[in-house]
Amino acid sequence: MEMSDAQGCMLPCGRDMESVWERLDPVDTGAADAHELTCEYCSAARGSLLALREVTGELASEEAGPSLGLTGRIMSAVRAEVRRHHMLALPSPEPGGVQISEQAVAAVLRCAADSVDGVRARHCRIAVTDTQGAVEVAMSLAVAYRRFSANAVDEVRERVRAAAAAQVGITLMRLDLTVEDLYDA
């Protein structure tokens, strides 16, 4: 790595930090020249660089493991992948049809509910009620105290129905919304 005085690496004595760094010996005895041994600036720089090398060596030798929360999040994702066995048939002119997981539909609908200011979707249950593909949805919500009103719930209802039609291609036969919690934004 090349350093220049434009980067502020020149010592007051005229030497650059790069040359002091290059003369550091791996066994910490150093291969300093006469100037570096007598110059207060070079000696201070050597001391600082040796301390830096020691600390970075200790950090490099430490074994870092994953955080406790990381393992839990990974396992949740793995379990979610396993649960994708309930499929919903979408209207399609293609032979054999098109299917989508109920979990994917629930994710789209929760995202639509979350798009309403002050609303957080919680649980979303999808149920196919007949062979024609009629879909019923039950969703629970948490609503900001300042936003709690029938208008907010109506806005969620509109956005969820619109997302079901536009993004998934289904019409909801029933949509039950339950406000389970209020929170302070």
Residues near 44 by Cβ (< 8 Å), separated by ≥ 6? Answer: none
Cα distances (Å, whole numbers) of residue 160 to 85, 116, 129, 168, 169: 23, 10, 19, 11, 12
| SS3 at position 4 | coil
Contact assessment for residue 144 and residue 184, using Cβ atoms and an 8 Å cutoff = yes
Q: What is the pLDDT along the chain (185 residues), one digit of tens a residue?
A: 444 444 557 888 888 888 888 877 655 455 778 888 888 888 888 888 888 888 888 877 777 766 667 777 777 666 665 555 677 777 777 777 778 888 889 999 999 999 999 999 988 999 887 666 678 999 999 999 887 888 899 999 999 999 999 998 888 999 999 999 998 86
Of 140, 145, 146, 133, the closest CA to residue 173 belongs to 133
Cα 144–Cα 165–Cα 86 angle in degrees, nearest 5: 85
Q: Residue for token digits 């079901």?
A: 164
pLDDT digits (tens, 9 = 90+) for 120-154: 998 899 988 766 667 899 999 999 988 788 889 99
Q: Confirm whether pTM is higher than 0.75.
A: no
d(CA 63, CA 45): 29
Q: How far apart are CA 65 and CA 57, in angstroms?
A: 18
